[in-house]
Structure 1
């Protein structure tokens, strides 16, 4: 199991540890997937995400497709509600 020994105050070490995980993806534990999601969602700057994309680790594209670039059920419900509200307003105006 991978243990993140990178110092959170050292972004370079954190970046390198995430790159190592992405090179092993999808052969990572559930805990490591959570770590990857946290990094992409909350810890990484836009520059770090762009830098990771340019390095293109082995599992980067698959991880993004599996966990980052798709809508959650909540997001889909909110989109449907918003679209329904727009259609309702248009129908009322006509």
Structure 2
């Protein structure tokens, strides 16, 4: 199991990320527009994913704008190699 929230731990420096109560009172991270949680993918994911895997997410969009809830980019941040797009 790989926990992608470990890549999104809010810091005092980023006012666009915050800690909140999630489903059933569990810890959740909130992201305001403009937030970026960047980590090298190898800190959060294995070198190669299994042939079948699941990404589970609970989210509450605040706008109708198309965006990515989660994305793995190439080293140049130009191509989304794996992502969860909300549209």
The answer to whether TM tops 0.5 is no
Which TM-score band (shorter chain)?
under 0.3
Larger radius of gyration: 1
Q: TM-score if structure 2 supplies the norm length?
A: 0.27
Q: Greater strand share, 1 or 2?
A: 2
